[in-house]
Chains A and B, each alone.
Chain A
Amino acid sequence: MQIFPFLPGLDHIRLGERRKGMILLGCFAPLASLALWRAGIIWESMVHTARKITGEKVLYSERHLDIFIAASALLILLAAAIFYSWISCRRLAKSSGHAKRESQGLWAVAWRQFKKNRLATTGASILIALYLIAIFCPLITAYDPTEQGHLVKERLLKPSLDHLLGTDRFSRDVFSRILHGSRISLLVGFLAVGISITIGTVYGAVAGYFGRWIDSILMRFVDMMLSFPTLILIITIVAISKSQSIWLIIAVIGLTSWMGVARLVRGEILLLKELDFFQASRALGAGAFRLIFRHLLPNAMTPIIVAATLRVGSTILLEASLSYLGLGVQPPTPSWGNIIYDTKENIFTEWWMPLSAGLAITITVVGYNLLGDGLRDALDPKMRR
C-alpha cells in the first residue's frame, strides 16, 4: 500500500531504502517547490502556447517558447520521478528479502565503486544541480537575460530582492544573465569535448592499431598541433573567420583540442595490442573493425571517460577565457566569460557582478574535476595518484 504516492522517496524510506529515498526526496522537493512557486507562469505559458498552436493571433516571442520548453521539461521530470518511485517501490515491496546476486560486468562493479566515492558523488551532485538550473532558468528568474531595462533608472542598480545581483550598464538583470550563461558554458563544454573525443579516439585508435609508418606520420602531426598554445591557435582561427557564432567557437575548440586524447588512446591501444586476448581474437580470424571496436576500444574506455570529464572542465575554462578576451561568444547572448568582459570596467565599484560570474565558472569546473578524479579512482584503482 502506498502512503505518500505523490512524494517520491518517502515510500523508499518506509521500506528501508533510506539512502535512495533521501536522494529521491532531495531531488524532487526543490523541483516541486519550483513548480508550485512558478505555477502561474507555467500555466500561462501552457495556455499561451496552446493558443498559438491553435492558430490564434497572440504575441509569441523566443522568451515565451523558452518558458514553455522549461515548464514542459519540469512537468515531465516530476511525472517521471513519481512514476519511477511508484514502480520501484512496488518491486521493492514484492521482492523484499530476496537479494539477487546477478552476474556483474565491469561497468556494474565500477558503478558500485563510484557510489562509494565521496569526491565523485559530490562532483556529480554539483553538475546535476547545474544542469537542472540550465534547463529551468527561464522559470527561476523572471527577467529576460537580453532585455534592457530603463537606460537611466535601471542602470547599474545595487543588488536587491528584485535584482538579486543588480543590473549591468545596459540595465540588464545580471542574475538572469548568469543563470542563462550556464546554458552556453555547458553546451560548449559538452559539444566541443564530444567533437574532440570522437576525433581523438578514432585518430589514436588508427595510429595505434596500424602502427609502423602510419603511426609515425599521424603522431608527428599531433606533435605539431600540440606545439601551438591552444588559446593562441584558437584566437588566430577565430580572428580569421568572419563570424563568431557559438557554433564556430564550439567547432574550433573541438578541432584544436583532440590531440591529447589521440595520444592517450594510442598509448592504450599499444598496450592492449600486446595482450593475449587481442592475439587470440586475431587467431580466430577477426578483422580490423571487430578488433578495434570490440576488443581494443572497450578496454580503453576507462581513461577516455576520465579524460573526457576532465576535459569538459578545461574546455569551459577555454571558452570563458575566449569570451573574456571578447573573441568568444558575442553579446547580447550571455556567457559567463562575456559577462565578466562586459562588467570588468565596473570591477572596483560593482564588483559583485564579475565576481559571481567567475564563481559560477569555478564551481562548474570544480564539479567536473571532482567528478573526473572520482571516476578515475572508481573505475581504475591502478590509475590512482
Chain B
Amino acid sequence: MRTFILRRLLVSAVTLFGLLTINFFIIHLAPGGPLEIFDNPDMSAEVRKLILKSYGLDQPLPIQYWSYLKSMCRLEFGYSIAKKRPVADEILDTLPNTIQLSMLALSLELSLGIIIGIVAAVRQDSHLDKTLRLSSLTLYSIPEFYLGLLFLLLFAGGVGALAWLPPSGMVDLVAYDSMGFFEKLADRILHLILPCMTIALGGAASISRYMRGQLLEVIRQDYIRTARAKGLSERAVIFKHGLRNALMPIITIIGLSLPVVFSGTVIVENVFGWPGMGRVAVDAAFQRDYPIFLAVNLMFGALVVAGNLLADILYAVVDPRVRLS
C-alpha cells in the first residue's frame, strides 16, 4: 500500500510538472508572446526593451523557464493589470467559492446518478427504466448554460409566478449582513440550489447510465446467481452482493468526471453570477488579462491532479486488487 501511494504521488508530481510546462508553452507560443498585452504601436523600441527587461523576457528561453518554475513554486502568479492586484490574491478570494460549488455539485451528481442507476437496473426494461434512460440521454445532451437559463426562467422570475429562488450571486447582496446565523445559512443554501442542480444534472445522467450498466453486469455474475439460489431476498442480493461490487468502478468515474464538473462550474458561474475562478477567468479573457486566466488554468489542472490522486488512493483502499497491479 505504501509503495502504491508513493508511486501515485510520484506520477502526480510528474503530471503537475507537465502542466506547468504546457502552460509555459501556451504563453510563449501565443502570437505576440506574453508581451502582447502591452503591444502598442506607439511604443518606442526603447520602452519596449525596458518592459521586456523588467519582466525578464530578454533572457533566453531556458532561463525564463527556470525562473517561471521558481515563481510558480512560490505561488507567485504575477500581477493582474486589469484588477490592479496580485493574481494570487484574486485566486485566493475566488478559489473557495469555486470549490464549494463544484464539490457540492459533484456529490449531488454522484448520489443522484447512483440512485437513478440502481432504480433503472433493478427495474430493467420496465417503462420506468426506459423513461429514465431517455430522459438521461436528453439531460446530458442539454448544454449547461441552457439548462441554467431554463432554471432561471422557471424558478427565478420570468414566466409564471415561481420566482422563489434567487437568480444570481452567492448571498443576498442587500440583506445578508443584517441576517442571523440560520437566516444566513438558509440564504446561502437557496443561492446554491440552482447552480448546483445545473452542474449536477448532466453529470448525474451519465453516471446513472454507467451505474445501471455496472449493476446489470454484476448481477449477471455467478456469485449473484449463487446468492439467489441460496434463498436470499432480492433486496439483500442487490444491496449486499451486487451494489458493493458495482460501486467500486464508480470511484474511477469520480476522477474522470472532475474536469467535466469544473468545465460546468465555469459556465454556471457565468450564468448565475457566482463569484468563482471561472467567472474571473472569463472576465480576464475578455480583457486579455493573461496572468489571471493562466493561473486559473493551472489551478484547475492542479485540482484535477489532486482529485485523481485522491480517487486512486480511495480505490486502492476499497479494492485491494488495485494495489498489487
Contact = CB atoms under 8 A, between A and B. Distances in A.
A374 to B, nearest CB: 11
Contacts of A232: 262-263, 266, 278, 281, 296-297, 300
Given A227-B304, A324-B145, A347-B153, A362 B259 contact: no
B254 to A, nearest CB: 14
Contacts of A225: 22
Determine the main DSSP class of B at the interface with A: helix
Interface residues of A, number: 47
A240 B144 CA distance: 25
Interface in A196-254: 220-221, 223-233, 235-242
A358 interface: yes
B114 to A, nearest CB: 16
A37 interface: no
B70 to A, nearest CB: 20
Size bracket, chain B contacts: 35 or more
Contacts of B22: 224-225, 228
Contact of B15 (A224, A242, A340, A351): A224
B146 interface: yes
A366 B19 contact: no
B194 interface: no
Given A351-B158, A358-B150, A240 B213 contact: no
B300 A242 contact: no
Determine the main DSSP class of A at the interface with B: helix
Nearest to A357: B146
A69 to B, nearest CB: 30
Interface string B146-167: 1001101100011100000000
A223 B309 CA distance: 12
Contacts of B282: 235, 325-327
Contacts, number: 155
B267 interface: yes
Contact of B149 (A235, A317, A358, A370): A358
Nearest to B286: A326
A297 B288 CA distance: 43
A90 B308 CA distance: 62
Contact of A229 (B31, B146, B270, B300): B300
Given A231-B267, A347-B153, A220 B212 contact: no
Interface string A312-343: 01000100110011110000000001001000
A163 interface: no
Interface in B103-148: 137-138, 140-146
Given A232-B296, A232-B297, A340-B146, A241 B30 contact: yes
Given A220-B14, A321-B263, 11 more contacts: A229-B258, A235-B266, A235-B293, A235-B297, A239-B285, A239-B286, A325-B282, A337-B143, A366-B141, A369-B137, A385-B212
Interface of B: 11, 14-15, 18-19, 22, 26-27, 30-32, 36, 137-138, 140-146, 149-150, 152-153, 157-159, 209-210, 212-213, 216, 258-260, 262-263, 266-267, 270, 278, 281-282, 284-286, 288, 290, 293-294, 296-297, 300-301, 304-305, 308
